[in-house]
Amino acid sequence: MAKELRLQGIAASPGIGIGRIFIHRRHAQPVTRQTVSDPESELRRFARALERARAELDELRGLVVERLGTEETELWDAQMMMLSDPTAAEGTRERIRRDGQDAASAFHEVMEQISQQLDAADSQYLKERASDIRDITWRVVKHVRDQGQAPSIPRDSIVLAHELSPADAAYLATQKAAAMVTEIGGKTSHTAIIARSLEIPAVVGIKGSLAQASQGDWAVVDGNRGTVILNPLPATLESYRRQQKSYLRHVADLRKLRKSKAITRDGHQVELSANIELPEETVAVLSHGAKGVGLFRTEFLYLTSDRLPTEDEQYAIYRRVAEKLAPDPVIIRTFDLGGDKIGGQAPEPEANPFLGWRAIRFCLDRPELFKAQIRAILKASAHGQVKIMFPMICCLEELRRAKAAVEEAKQELRGDRVKFDEHCQVGIMIETPAAALTATALAQESDFFSIGSNDLTQYTLAVDRTNHRVARMYDPFNPAVLRLVREVIECGHRAGIWVGMCGEMCADPLAVPLLLGLSLDEFSMNPVAVPEVKRMILNLRLDQCRRVAARVMEAESADKSRAILADFVIGLFPDLALTCSVEGT
């Protein structure tokens, strides 16, 4: 019997999939040039293949609309346009007529020329179009060869592939795949986003998994933890079947809360919103019942490309997000580049990037780039409830300079008679001890605060958030961090502004009662985490949260804070016992 093998990758879409492995290889048969004896019939075969490929794309598009309940069909629309492009079809027909070349290789060669040009382009956007073109080529070649639909995949298969295109991912959804595993790709790859939207468990970034797996072997995919188990032993399989059952029950229960507001049992309401990195994630925001976006990390528009998007490109994206989520708010954070978020055009290496030319510092030094982004955000504010947020503010002077840029952009737009929301709120992230300790002054000139607990923890404890050697010391429950959090909320409230949090901390089940008890007004997190936190809020009472928060604030260590909170949370929510990490992350 084959040995059980555990592989660790990146958890890309939650849930547990159990099934037999189906290895998905796109180009099973190479496309080699052939000569045909009857070019006329080859032309007819090519025309038929184009027609079938179009029909197939149309069907997939319909499926995505139906399954996602969305208009996110750009991907299919773009592929359809490419497929209808007369140049490629004419080029193919000419090779068939002139050289008696077979349709599959003729089309393949024509399309390969185009995709190689796109591959060589600087822009990530164009590179992605190259992969769209390869997707179309494969689709047409398959029909020329009369291979019909992609091989149908046995129901409940675990699909293992080197890479999947978003169209592949959608197709696999139609085939009721139990889970997807890819060797490449990250959490924010489009495939991962589509898997999340279609609610198919997925793990990405497992290098070398294809070499270790065989067609038809049993496997378990744990999309919550990013683990794949090949050839699970009967006991492992049994344990995962139990976990899968309880996970599905849990998800079904949580789904019922989608439309509920986040109100405690004694009537205290907070806002529960989502963090997004890419515009496509609005689908997940809505499907998980979040109220708008509390943090749009716009730097990902740059990190997934090789250049910053232009003002017009940004405007189109921000507007789309604002319109999709209106009347709920969308808080757009200006570029937070630097630190661990370095794109293709990284500035010179810095010895301490987290303490260096980062976030608002970078933007204030690049006024043209900063203003273009602010103008784009302001223009989008005419189409929904948009707010602007500055990252990593350390002092009043930075806030004033950033706000001056907003004023300047507003003046320009007024001059150009471009519409925007004159009352668009401007707030700041509190992510440095310096900002937390001067929150009273900053609150006088901000419309809101959002606590960036990820960075606030890093800077307060002097622990690099990306350095695994010191990971054990990185703990938002450290009393130093908790006191700063309390201070910021109190200062904000004294100045009459609302205070939210958009760091990972607020999605931690241990932190939920604590932050409620400290009177946090808004919790913003990964969309997937929203339903669980909402369930907790609906079942908590503000007065008990206040009492437990008071005890935690007296604790002398992170361990003690966690122990108090774990007792409280597990007492009320025994099913969370596994998720509540008392020892920290």
**Which residues are identified as catalytic?**
190, 502
Q: Does 526 bind ligand PEP (CB under 6 A)?
A: no
Q: Does 277 bind ligand PEP (CB under 6 A)?
A: no
Query: CA-CA distances (angstroms) from residue 202 to 79, 156, 230, 255?
Result: 24, 13, 15, 20
Separation between Cα atoms, residue 415 and residue 381, nearest integer Å? 17
- 416-435 residues near Mg ion, rule: CB under 5 A: 431
The smaller minimum CB distance to Mg ion, of residues 201 and 452, is found at 452
Are the CB atoms for 157 and 177 separated by under 8 Å? yes
Partner whose footprint covers residue 398, from ligand PEP, Mg ion, none (CB < 5 to 8 Å by kind)? none
Q: Does 503 bind ligand PEP (CB under 6 A)?
A: yes
Binder among 224, 454, 544, 579 for ligand PEP (CB under 6 A): 454
Q: Does 274 bind ligand PEP (CB under 6 A)?
A: no
Partner whose footprint covers residue 108, from Mg ion, ligand PEP, none (CB < 5 to 8 Å by kind)? none
Nearest distance, CB of residue 434 and ligand PEP, angstroms: 14
Residue 361, Cβ neighbours under 10 Å: how many?
17
Separation between Cα atoms, residue 552 and residue 560, nearest integer Å? 8
Separation between Cα atoms, residue 18 and residue 6, nearest integer Å? 14
Q: Does 297 bind ligand PEP (CB under 6 A)?
A: yes
Are the CB atoms for 584 and 507 separated by under 8 Å? no
The smaller minimum CB distance to ligand PEP, of residues 222 and 299, is found at 299
Q: Angle, nearest 10°, between helix axes 124-144 and 74-83?
A: 60
Q: Does 481 bind ligand PEP (CB under 6 A)?
A: no
The smaller minimum CB distance to ligand PEP, of residues 16 and 430, is found at 430
- In this structure, the dihedral spanned by the alpha carbons of residues 515, 518, 521 and 525, taken in order and rounded to 10 degrees, is -10
Q: Does 464 bind Mg ion (CB under 5 A)?
A: no
Q: Does 452 bind ligand PEP (CB under 6 A)?
A: yes
Contact residues for 449 (Cβ-Cβ < 8 A; gap 6+): 427, 428, 429, 430, 439, 442, 443, 488, 492, 497, 498, 499, 500
The smaller minimum CB distance to Mg ion, of residues 264 and 526, is found at 526
Binder among 15, 185, 452, 531 for Mg ion (CB under 5 A): 452
**Cis ω before 391 (30° cut-off from 0):** no
Contact residues for 575 (Cβ-Cβ < 8 A; gap 6+): 246, 250
Separation between Cα atoms, residue 17 and residue 158, nearest integer Å? 7
Q: Does 502 bind ligand PEP (CB under 6 A)?
A: yes
- 92-131 residues near ligand PEP, rule: CB under 6 A: none
Separation between Cα atoms, residue 576 and residue 532, nearest integer Å? 10
* # binding residues, ligand PEP (CB under 6 A): 10
The smaller minimum CB distance to ligand PEP, of residues 15 and 452, is found at 452
Nearest distance, CB of residue 489 and ligand PEP, angstroms: 15
Q: Does 336 bind ligand PEP (CB under 6 A)?
A: yes
- Burial label for 185, CB within 10 Å (0-12, 13-18, 19+), is buried
Nearest distance, CB of residue 277 and ligand PEP, angstroms: 9
The smaller minimum CB distance to Mg ion, of residues 431 and 532, is found at 431
Partner whose footprint covers residue 503, from Mg ion, ligand PEP, none (CB < 5 to 8 Å by kind)? ligand PEP
Q: Does 13 bind ligand PEP (CB under 6 A)?
A: no
Amino acid at 283: V
Residue for token digits 């065989």? Answer: 214
The smaller minimum CB distance to ligand PEP, of residues 204 and 485, is found at 485
The smaller minimum CB distance to ligand PEP, of residues 107 and 300, is found at 300
Per-residue contact string for residues 397-436; x = within reach of ligand PEP by CB under 6 A:
----------------------------------x-----
Nearest distance, CB of residue 347 and ligand PEP, angstroms: 18
Binder among 135, 328, 455, 508 for ligand PEP (CB under 6 A): 455
Are the CB atoms for 404 and 369 separated by under 8 Å? no
Contacts 24+ apart (CB under 8 A), 395-400: 395/434, 395/435, 395/438, 396/438, 396/441, 396/442, 396/445, 398/360, 398/361, 398/364, 399/428, 399/442, 399/445, 399/446, 400/445
Interface ranges with ligand PEP (CB under 6 A): 295, 297, 336, 431, 452-455, 502-503
Interface ranges with Mg ion (CB under 5 A): 431, 452, 455
